[in-house]
Amino acid sequence: MGDRGGTGGSRRRRTGSRPSSQGGGGPAAAEEEVRDVGAGGDAPAPDKDKDGGANVGSGPWDLRCHRVQDSLFSSDSGFSNYRGILNWCVVMLILSNARLFLENLIKYGILVDPIQVVSLFLKDPYSWPALCLVIVANIFAVAAFQVEKRLAVGALTEQAGLLLHVLNLATILCFPAAVAFLQESITPVGSVLALMVYTILFLKLVSYRDVNLWCRERRARGKTKPASAGKKANGAVPQRAGTVSYPDNLTYRDLYYFLFAPTLCYELNFPRSPRIRKRFLLRRLLEMLFFTQLQVGLIQQWMVPTIQNSMKPFKDMDYSRIIERLLKLAVPNHLIWLIFFYWLFHSCLNAVAELMQFGDREFYRDWWNSESVTYFWQNWNIPVHKWCIRHFYKPMLRRGSSKWVARTGVFLTSAFFHEYLVSIPLRMFRLWAFTGMMAQIPLAWIVSRFFRGNYGNAAVWLTLIIGQPVAVLMYVHDYYVLHHEAVTGGP
């Protein structure tokens, strides 16, 4: 192979072409060539051929082939490109889960049944209580709207308006809970969906009431200021062309745009995208369809048999078998949770936002890089996090509460709604979800105190992978004991 045109190659050519008084060889020539390398003592990198190896014609450069350097896995090496190892992990994950999937098929056969999915939503094809509950929810939205209309024109005092809002919001939580608990024809899945709609409506109407109250307070302050400050009195500050100011926002169009928008925080002028991107929307809709089918299939084929096989160890209190079943359930449960996250926060919310030309698409942040439990809860569900900060955490701080008390209050509220969405549909109160949420407070302290960096991130992942199956098994066991064993053990 010929020499390349690098500096080293030119230097070698010049050295090799010099006339030597000693006949062109021997130690003197070698010393001269080594000295020609440079005063630093380290030889430049030898020429590479096109395959990445050293040029076979490098000659005297082979006298020195070592230098001070660290192994790549050492932290001092500065090496960070582990893409190949990540790909290996993905391949191993696929192969191991493929083996589990094949084992499941051999053991149980095909368990996926679309008809059974329909039965989860309906007991009686002529009775649709969950859908009726969702339709009735419009009454509470209109009631909140009418209260705000009368407050805007001064027909109600602020105290009377607050009382009416509190009664309306309390009814939003109590009415569907009573129907779900007392109506025999409603299924647990249908009850969960209806209660989720009412919970979202509750959070949205709290924000709707607060923002309109802030606008009234700003308008009242503006009336007492000089005329130069008057243009800052209504709604957004300062006003731009095409924006809506208070009380012009109090229309049914504005209300229902907010109710269907993928956000829990109200404002008078939402950021809007210029157009609907049809290809983007089609991709999101196809993702919704695909991941819905995938979740249903994984639950029926993988999770249900594992849960059913876990009942006997729980009944016998066989702790080793319980732990084995817990670990076996952790893999499908976590996989389904990850798919559900992508399905909801990326596919569904982006599809709705695209249809409504809603501009703010920050529905999640990089929670997978969480090095603390607190960071995870602040970044995995941005709509809820924004609502908690805007309408709960900051108001508590303004009223003089400490940050620790305000943070504990946020977790208490979250724990209440988690238990609300689980216990009422199952018609049993075991407080596992409430306890799990409140346990996040000491867990957050432990992780931040004893685990940092990658260890903290691993601790967060471990709590996600193991914590959820524990709650699932607890509720399933209690539900099984309450409904199935009571029936089989009865007279």
Residues recognised as catalytic:
418
Helix (H) or strand (E) holding 85: helix 83-108
Helix (H) or strand (E) holding 134: helix 129-152
CB 396 within 8 A of CB 159: no
Distances (CA, A) of 366 to 96, 188, 211, 212, 276: 27, 33, 29, 32, 26
CB 60 within 8 A of CB 27: no
CB 53 within 8 A of CB 46: no
CA distance linking residue 421 with residue 409, whole number of Å = 19
**Which are the contacts of 7, defined by CB distance < 8 A and separation ≥ 6?**
44
Distances (CA, A) of 232 to 207, 224, 437, 468: 21, 12, 42, 49
Distances (CA, A) of 168 to 163, 191, 202, 485: 9, 20, 9, 40
In one-letter notation, the amino acid at residue 226 is: P
In one-letter notation, the amino acid at residue 326 is: L
CA distance linking residue 393 with residue 408, whole number of Å = 10
In the 8-state DSSP scheme, what is residue 272?
B
Instruction: Name the nearest CA neighbour of 284 among 334, 338, 345.
Output: 345
CB 414 within 8 A of CB 393: no
State the first-to-last Cα distance of the chain, in angstroms, to the nearest integer. Answer: 93
